Chains A and B, each alone.
Chain A
């Protein structure tokens, strides 16, 4: 691990916080794409190029495009509504930033117990072999979930179109 990895990790957290804290939704979606791009670079540096390619193409490309389309299709909340909601939420969750700060301080002092047995020497096995030979049930699950998602969207869009 080099200093560049630590800088990238800080960039990732900063992009995630910017995604959450940005007031405008469009900028938030763009910051989300930036978070995915930084995560992709981290994945490449950690010898995970295939997962990095998926992250870059799907999470930094497709999902922000879907979110931006949704933002364009929906009506934004009025300023008054947002103010009322913000005050309500601040009253309910005033302690959350405090928790973040306390957890950050605690993490610098607490030592994570990592007394695991040493891993065996890495087997020369590729991602393709893992996916197709060892985790084929995962592939079946992925296909089922994708089909369920497509079916769900088809039903939802049909209902919106019918107005029923």
Chain B
């Protein structure tokens, strides 16, 4: 492979990995449902960057852009539904604490 492409992938892969770790950390350690959604967003940022970097490395930018656009659109749908669920939880329990989700049954 082109050494420049390998160098680009190696450097950006570290950034992608750190971004993904930040997202996972946020999802695992957050007590607030909104912050959990923000953690999901950070995860998708890392994955979008990974798609673009792989497209650049493999010289397939058109395909990478199409996949990134697909991912962004799906991301919006997921976030909007997640926000709707958070608003419902807040309506029923009066809080956005993840612990209170255990009380929701049926």
Using a CB–CB distance below 8 Å, which chain A residues touch chain B? Answer: 1, 5-6, 9-10, 12-13, 16-17, 19-20, 25, 28-29, 32, 35-36, 39, 42-43, 46-48, 50-51, 54-55, 58-59, 62-63, 66-67, 70-71, 73-75, 77, 81-82, 85-86, 89-90, 93, 96, 99-100, 103-104, 107, 111-112, 114-116, 118-119, 121-122, 125-127, 129-131, 134-135, 138, 141-142, 145-146, 148-149, 152-153, 156-157, 159-160, 163
Q: Which of B18, B32, B55 contacts A48 (CB under 8 A)?
A: B55
Measured between beta carbons, the chain A residues less than 8 angstroms from B19 are 12-13, 16
Inter-subunit contact B34/A160 (CB<8 Å) = no
Main secondary structure of the interface of B (DSSP, over half): helix
Inter-subunit contact A36/B45 (CB<8 Å) = yes
Inter-subunit contact A112/B91 (CB<8 Å) = no
Task: Report Cα–Cα, A81/B45, bound state, in Å.
Answer: 30
Q: Which of B9, B32, B69 contacts A131 (CB under 8 A)?
A: B69
Inter-subunit contact B1/A114 (CB<8 Å) = yes
Q: Which of B28, B66, B86 contacts A74 (CB under 8 A)?
A: B86
Inter-subunit contact A63/B79 (CB<8 Å) = yes
Measured between beta carbons, the chain A residues less than 8 angstroms from B15 are 9-10, 12-13
* Given contact pairs A20-B26, A100-B25, A107 touches B8 in the complex (Cβ within 8 A): no
From 76 to 97 in chain B, residues with beta carbon under 8 angstroms from any chain A beta carbon are 76-81, 83-88, 90-91, 94-97
Taking the nearest CB of chain B, how far is it from the CB of A89, in angstroms? 5
Measured between beta carbons, the chain B residues less than 8 angstroms from A58 are 72-73, 75-76
Task: Report Cα–Cα, A48/B15, bound state, in Å.
Answer: 18
Task: Report Cα–Cα, A108/B91, bound state, in Å.
Answer: 47
Inter-subunit contact A159/B88 (CB<8 Å) = yes
Taking the nearest CB of chain A, how far is it from the CB of B44, in angstroms? 8
